[in-house]
Chain A
Amino acid sequence: MTHAMIESFSLDTPEVVTLTELADYCGMSPADLDELMGYNALQPLPDTAPDFIFSAHWVVPLRAVAKLRMDFDLDLFTVAILLEKLRQIALLERQVQSLQALVPFHLRQT
């Protein structure tokens, strides 16, 4: 067993990553990310050009679309659309979770 303290980095919104780090985390090239920004599917934090900085919340959906891109040999334009849809799904899941928290136990189906 490895007993050393394992450094962890939260991928929550308050954390930030550089363009190079984001590309490294999700297995895409900086040029790919640049193209996704061109499609307005990926947005850097305001006023960070030309050394773009991103909220770390992009890491999870970008890793998901990078995997789908590889698995299904998708082009970047399709990836851009998928990224937006995945973010919408994540937002809806968040809203469902918020609503479920308000539903009393005796009224919950599952």
Chain B
Amino acid sequence: MKYKDYYAILGVPRSASLDDIKKAYRKLARAHHPDVSKAPDAEARFKEAAEAYATLKDSAKRAAYDELGHPAAGADFRPPPQWQQDFAPGGMAFEDLDLADLLAAMGRGQRTGPQRAMPIKGHDYESEVTITLEDARHGTTVNLTLADGAGERTLQVTIPPGACQNQKLRLRGQGGKGRNGGPDGDIYLQIRLAPHAVFRPDRHDLYFDLILSPWEAALGAEVEVPTLEKPVLLTVPPGTRAGRKLRLRGRGLAPEHSDLYAIVHIDVPATLSTRERELFQELAQVSSFKPRAA
């Protein structure tokens, strides 16, 4: 078994107080936490510090660790024979364990022997999957590949219809294997929606831009609009103003309780024919519409 110098990892003397140990750990955790640091070795350094702290903050574990003396870091050493009987889970050989496993077993109160080992729940996994809006509306099946202690495995997971951005699913019992009769862990699967060329999701509703000509907006029109299924005819009421939201009921991501909204934008021709110019000029003369009036 390789010795790890937990004091050196935390950068504290062997006589450090619990307060000093806690401060040193928090400083390292703040610097190397994977949510904070982008350094390639951040996660490894964070885990190393967490392992050291898990032992040194617990007076019983720290005393047991101190019993080992002070071999050089990385040096092979053999724990006291009594530890085999007291802590090695399931009577495992020391060679199959590392120092962290052994000290963790001590924390679970295994000193009375493996026959009274506490049940331990398997590891939970966090994963995410990206699906299209069409798959979110209709439901789909995705292959989820996980790498754990048992090797690589692929699960076929059914995503029910009506998924939305950042929705989380819990896949019960599909995580790491439990030990000593403990339950298997779970998988927490976060759903991401792939960007779509036309539609923008907001929870279960969808939005898209509907560009109208000035006369369509003023007079009303029937226009063909896209949906996640086939295009449909949308009635634009007369006097529709820019920014108005026109609803297509039940056309969102969850067919039963979500909608598709067309957001109206009004565009004008960049260039006008002579006749178009004449008509617009005539309209300008006869119209009483004052868009900037209070």
Interface residues of A (CB under 8 A from B): 1-12, 24-25, 27, 59-60, 63, 71-73, 94, 97-98, 100-102, 104-105
Contact = CB atoms under 8 A, between A and B. Distances in A.
A63 B30 contact: no
Interface centre among B30, B189, B200 (most CB of A within 10 A): B200
Interface of B: 22, 25-26, 29-30, 33, 46, 50, 53, 57, 121, 124, 143, 153-160, 165, 167-172, 174, 186, 188-189, 200-203, 205-207, 209, 263, 265
A101 B156 contact: no
Nearest to B155: A2
Given A100-B200, A104-B265, A8 B189 contact: yes
B158 A8 contact: yes
Interface centre among A6, A98, A100 (most CB of B within 10 A): A6
Nearest to A26: B124
A61 B291 CA distance: 48
Contacts of B124: 27
10 contacts: A1-B153, A1-B156, A2-B153, A6-B156, A6-B171, A27-B124, A73-B25, A94-B203, A97-B202, A98-B203
Contacts, number: 89
A101 B200 contact: yes
Contact of B26 (A1, A72, A104): A72
A98 B202 contact: yes
Contacts of B154: 1-2
A45 to B, nearest CB: 19
A11 B50 CA distance: 30
A12 to B, nearest CB: 7
Contacts of B53: 73
A8 B201 contact: no
B34 to A, nearest CB: 9
A8 B160 contact: yes
B154 to A, nearest CB: 4
Q: Which 4 A-B pairs have the closest CB atoms?
A: A101-B202, A8-B169, A11-B168, A101-B200
Contact of B263 (A7, A71, A72, A104): A104
A26 B105 CA distance: 22
B29 A72 contact: yes
A72 B30 contact: yes
A6 B33 contact: no
B143 A9 contact: no
A59 to B, nearest CB: 7
A72 B46 CA distance: 10
A24 B155 CA distance: 23
Given A71-B29, A101-B202, A104-B263, A2 B156 contact: yes
A100 B167 CA distance: 18
A55 B169 CA distance: 14
A30 B267 CA distance: 59
Given A71-B29, A71-B50, A101 B171 contact: no
B268 to A, nearest CB: 15
B25 A60 contact: no
A1 B153 CA distance: 6
Contact of B167 (A2, A7, A10): A10
Given A73-B26, A97-B165, A8 B209 contact: no
A9 B159 CA distance: 10
Contacts of A10: 160, 167-170
A102 B263 contact: yes
A47 B169 CA distance: 27
A4 B29 CA distance: 40
Nearest to A70: B50
A89 to B, nearest CB: 12
Contacts of B158: 5-6, 8
